[in-house]
């Protein structure tokens, strides 16, 4: 049986960042310094341990979240390395759902960039405590204070610098530890394995003491024990400062900030110390809650091996044709050979193997307990977001939120043999990736893939060939639209027909009302005065409406931002059936939409462009030509950060146009913002 100390010495963390902030390099250094890897894998050489997919190694980016475990200061750290590209943000979302803490990596030159901002808000959504690591302090233009200032401006969090850099840009030599009041420097000859503490140089002393006093003053506002000693002017022990930072971090009041240069092997060991000292163990987080599917009552599971089993499947992968399921165990224990209950599907399944993962390598284990992140083989019916539990004590945990795709692409198999492979491959890829949607178009005889961006679909089609040997012809990417209405209407639908020697009658009255953008779909029961309708008929009416919502009336796209009010309808004794009501409701919805000024909506993207200031005019002019709206311009030294909202339809081919207009010196990222009227 696992002791309490095992849990208190466990950390489940994610490492996340904007693309090219150095996140994977940070992870590789962590693995090296903890003894998990014996060689430093470099992203630019295509040798990063955690970027093991061929597509990742070729592109130098992280595509899929990879899991590993390492040890530091007698603590077991489970790490999930997540993608930085917005097309793969679901990997970040589902990782943060099951993690207890996060390290967010920032580039000291780029500062707070769009995807790091997205990641930060995703972590806030799940109440995940964070440590910030400001990387690339050795780069020209590195601005530690500027990055912290941006964090204060853009996040609803209070950054607490516990280090300051010892030199910047070419002169970056190490960091000043404000808690110990010492400077830390690294030995280049040992690739940063050897490092040491020394007194702060005289020229830095006054600055360091000033920063330390600010740190203590901020902690005094949050901790009574620190406040008392601070006001009395008495010395505060290091252990008390560390404990105060830990409490404030776990309660989401502050974010400790450290810095370094992972590529130059500086700053990683103190980052590991920060993970151990300040981020929570499974014991420090609130007990997980869920719904008992039998009693419909809330259930609580404390992080303990003694509690009934509760685990969440947060990731599915295909491993040589077999399904590999990643689980976060919140309570209880798992053993190889155990029969488990999938509360989301009401099915029992048996574990064949338990595996502790290290990227794409694995170590077979016989058991796992509360707080562990583990991979399981043998579960066939499971999918992402399912809850695994003890059947005698069932629980349904909150599922993972998934994003709607914004871009689609038609593909077709090159030969009948490829068609067979294609169907199998797409089913497996959809199991892995909840943001991938597949639809067969009867009119064109093409398969339509929908995903989060051009890169996302490009990687999917590449995997079809490499992993499944399914050769396909690929069409041009197309925007995924939505539909909505622009005015309020009342409508009704009537169905009366004999089917299979049985009469089916249905009569339904509806009100359709437009809602604000991002309003979603709302179905409200507001029965007419005196109307008495059995619940099974009302449920059938709602089902009919939902079917109508999925197919729209203009181009077959789902309808959004609409409120459907169910008023009821007439009934015929012995003839009114659920089927009749369902068809009548679907018909009423369709007719109502046609009368309510339906309109097509297209995805609008939030685009962030970093460009040398001399090209700013050309960049802004091009954005306007694409019907974009400038949201803000922020100077960052020799470059400017331009934020704009632009219809996705106008952004195809933008990377080539931007490179051409700026001599290849500008970069951009974009992420989905909202749906709006298509031009």
- Give the tens place of pLDDT for each residue, 295-327: 889 999 999 989 999 998 888 877 766 788 889
Beta-carbon count within 10 A of 415 CB: 10
Q: What is the mean pLDDT of residues 184-201?
A: 94
Quick check: 101 and 255 in contact, CB under 8 A? Answer: no
Percentage of the chain surpassing pLDDT 90?
A: 47
Residue 67 has pLDDT above 90, yes or no: no
Grade residue 253 by pLDDT with cuts at 50, 70 and 90. Answer: very high
Q: What are phi and psi of 189, to 5 degrees?
A: -65, -30
Weakest-pLDDT range from 248-257, 346-355, 398-407: 398-407
Q: What is the mean pLDDT of residues 333-345?
A: 90
Please list the residues that pair with 492 across neighbouring strands.
509
Residues 6+ apart with CB under 8 A from 491: 509, 510, 511, 512, 588, 589, 591, 592, 595
Grade residue 428 by pLDDT with cuts at 50, 70 and 90. Answer: confident
The pLDDT score that the predictor gives to residue 39 is: 54
The pLDDT score that the predictor gives to residue 472 is: 86
Mean pLDDT score across all residues of the chain: 86
Strand, helix or coil for residue 631:
strand
Q: What is the mean pLDDT of residues 10-17?
A: 88
Grade residue 43 by pLDDT with cuts at 50, 70 and 90. Answer: very low
Residue 340 has pLDDT above 50, yes or no: yes
Quick check: 610 and 641 in contact, CB under 8 A? Answer: yes
Quick check: 139 and 21 in contact, CB under 8 A? Answer: no
The pLDDT score that the predictor gives to residue 83 is: 58
Give the residue with greater pLDDT, 98 vs 55.
Answer: 98
Quick check: 261 and 267 in contact, CB under 8 A? Answer: yes
Grade residue 611 by pLDDT with cuts at 50, 70 and 90. Answer: confident
Strand order in the sheet with 310-319: 347-350, 339-342, 387-389, 310-319, 322-331, 373-377, 353-358, 361-365
Q: What is the mean pLDDT of residues 199-214?
A: 94
The pLDDT score that the predictor gives to residue 559 is: 95
Mark out the alpha helices in 178-331 (DSSP H runs): 202-220, 224-232, 238-250, 268-278
Q: What is the mean pLDDT of residues 155-171?
A: 91
Residue 150 has pLDDT above 50, yes or no: yes
Beta strands in 414-488 (DSSP E): 437-441, 446-451, 472-479, 482-484
The pLDDT score that the predictor gives to residue 320 is: 67
**d(Cα 150, Cα 107) in Å, to the nearest integer?**
12
Task: Give me Rg for the CA atoms of the chain.
Answer: 28
The pLDDT score that the predictor gives to residue 48 is: 44
> C-alpha angle 372/376/381, rounded to 5°?
125
Give Cα 291 distance to the centre of its chain: 24
Beta-carbon count within 10 A of 22 CB: 25
Please list the residues that pair with 448 across neighbouring strands.
410, 439
The pLDDT score that the predictor gives to residue 1 is: 38
Residue 604 has pLDDT above 50, yes or no: yes
Beta-carbon count within 10 A of 388 CB: 28
Give the residue with greater pLDDT, 450 vs 617.
Answer: 617
Percentage of the chain surpassing pLDDT 70?
A: 91
The pLDDT score that the predictor gives to residue 378 is: 86
Give the residue with greater pLDDT, 611 vs 46.
Answer: 611
Give the residue with greater pLDDT, 265 vs 353.
Answer: 265
Q: What is the mean pLDDT of residues 334-363?
A: 85
Give the residue with greater pLDDT, 290 vs 36.
Answer: 290
Residue 46 has pLDDT above 80, yes or no: no
What's the token pair of residue 79?
Answer: 């790490």
pTM as predicted: 0.70
Residues 6+ apart with CB under 8 A from 306: 1
Give the residue with greater pLDDT, 40 vs 644.
Answer: 644
Strand, helix or coil for residue 119:
helix
Residue 88 has pLDDT above 70, yes or no: no
Residues 6+ apart with CB under 8 A from 92: 14, 16, 65, 82, 83, 118, 119, 122
DSSP string, 154-175: HSSS-EEESEEEES-GGG--EE
Quick check: 678 and 649 in contact, CB under 8 A? Answer: yes
The pLDDT score that the predictor gives to residue 201 is: 93
What's the token pair of residue 654?
Answer: 């933008």
Give the residue with greater pLDDT, 161 vs 431.
Answer: 161
What's the token pair of residue 540?
Answer: 């059938």
| Cα dist from 181 to 198, 215, 665, whole Å | 9, 12, 41
What's the token pair of residue 57?
Answer: 């190694």
Q: Which of 316-320, 573-577, 583-587 has the highest mean pLDDT?
A: 583-587
Give the residue with greater pLDDT, 421 vs 452.
Answer: 421
Residue 19 has pLDDT above 80, yes or no: no
| Cα dist from 328 to 78, 255, 313, whole Å | 11, 25, 7
Residue 577 has pLDDT above 90, yes or no: yes
Q: What is the mean pLDDT of residues 609-632?
A: 92
The pLDDT score that the predictor gives to residue 106 is: 93
Picking from 282, 342, 339, the residue whose alpha carbon sits closest to that of residue 307 is: 282
The pLDDT score that the predictor gives to residue 84 is: 47
**d(Cα 47, Cα 314) in Å, to the nearest integer?**
27
Q: What is the mean pLDDT of residues 213-233?
A: 93
Residue 89 has pLDDT above 80, yes or no: no
Weakest-pLDDT range from 114-123, 171-180, 669-678: 114-123
């Amino acid at each position: 049986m696992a002791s309490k100390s095992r849990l208190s010495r466990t950390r489940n963390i994610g490492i996340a960042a904007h693309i090219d902030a150095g996140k994977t390099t940070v992870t590789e250094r962590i693995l090296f310094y903890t003894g998990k890897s014996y060689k430093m894998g470099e992203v630019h050489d295509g040798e990063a341990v955690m970027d093991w997919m061929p597509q990742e190694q070729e592109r130098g980016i992280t595509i899929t979240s990879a899991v590993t475990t390492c040890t530091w200061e007698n603590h077991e750290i489970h790490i999930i390395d997540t993608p930085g590209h917005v097309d793969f943000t679901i990997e970040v979302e589902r990782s943060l759902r099951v993690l207890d803490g996060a390290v967010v990596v920032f580039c000291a030159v780029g500062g707070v960039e769009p995807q790091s901002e997205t990641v930060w808000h995703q972590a806030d959504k799940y109440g995940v405590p964070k440590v910030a690591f400001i990387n690339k302090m050795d780069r020209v233009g590195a601005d530690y204070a500027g990055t912290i200032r941006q964090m204060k401006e853009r996040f609803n969090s209070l950054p607490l610098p516990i280090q300051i850099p010892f030199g910047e840009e070419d002169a970056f030599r190490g960091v000043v530890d404000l808690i110990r009041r010492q400077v830390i420097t690294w030995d280049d000859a040992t690739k940063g394995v050897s490092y040491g503490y020394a007194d702060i140089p005289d020229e830095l002393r006054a600055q360091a003491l000033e920063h330390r006093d600010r740190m203590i003053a901020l902690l005094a506002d949050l901790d009574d024990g620190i406040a008392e000693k601070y006001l009395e002017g008495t010395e505060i022990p290091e252990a008390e400062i560390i404990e105060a930072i830990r409490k404030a971090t776990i309660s989401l009041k502050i974010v400790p900030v450290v810095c370094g240069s992972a590529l130059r092997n500086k700053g990683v060991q103190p980052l590991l110390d920060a993970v151990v000292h300040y981020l929570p163990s499974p014991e420090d987080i609130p007990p997980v809650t869920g719904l008992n599917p039998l009693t419909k009552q809330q259930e609580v599971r404390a992080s303990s091996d003694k509690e009934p089993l509760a685990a969440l499947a947060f990731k599915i992968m295909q491993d040589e044709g077999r399904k590999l399921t990643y689980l976060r165990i919140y309570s209880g224990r798992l053993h190889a050979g155990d029969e488990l209950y999938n509360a989301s599907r009401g099915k029992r399944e048996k574990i064949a193997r338990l595996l502790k993962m290290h990227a794409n390598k694995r170590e077979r284990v016989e058991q796992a307990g509360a707080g562990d992140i583990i991979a399981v083989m043998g579960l066939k019916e499971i999918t992402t977001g399912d809850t695994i539990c003890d059947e005698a004590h069932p629980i349904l945990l909150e599922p993972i939120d998934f994003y709607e795709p914004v871009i689609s692409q038609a593909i077709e198999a090159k030969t009948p043999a490829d068609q067979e492979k294609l169907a199998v491959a797409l089913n497996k890829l959809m199991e892995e990736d909840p943001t991938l949607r597949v639809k067969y178009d009867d009119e064109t005889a093409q398969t339509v893939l929908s995903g989060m961006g051009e890169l996302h679909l490009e990687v999917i089609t590449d995997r079809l060939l490499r992993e499944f040997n399914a050769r396909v012809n690929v069409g041009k990417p197309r925007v995924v639209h939505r539909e909505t209405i622009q005015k309020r209407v009342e409508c009704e639908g009537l169905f009366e027909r004999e089917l299979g020697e049985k009469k089916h009658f249905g009569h339904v009255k509806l009100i359709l009302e437009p809602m604000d953008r991002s309003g979603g779909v709302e179905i409200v029961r507001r029965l007419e005065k005196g109307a008495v309708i059995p619940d099974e008929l009302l449920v059938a009416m709602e089902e009919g409406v939902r079917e109508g919502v999925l197919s729209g009336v203009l181009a077959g796209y789902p309808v959004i931002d609409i409120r459907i009010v169910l008023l009821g309808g007439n009934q015929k004794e012995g003839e009114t059936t659920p089927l009749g009501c369902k068809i009548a409701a679907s018909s009423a919805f369709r007719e109502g939409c046609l009368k309510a000024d339906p309109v097509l909506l297209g995805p609008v993207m939030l685009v962030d462009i970093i460009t040398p200031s001399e090209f700013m005019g050309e960049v802004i002019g091009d954005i306007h030509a694409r019907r974009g709206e400038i949201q803000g311009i922020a100077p960052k030294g020799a470059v400017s950060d331009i934020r704009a909202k632009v219809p996705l339809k106008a952004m195809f081919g933008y990377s080539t146009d931007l490179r051409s207009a700026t001599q290849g010196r500008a970069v951009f990222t974009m992420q989905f913002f909202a749906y709006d009227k298509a031009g």
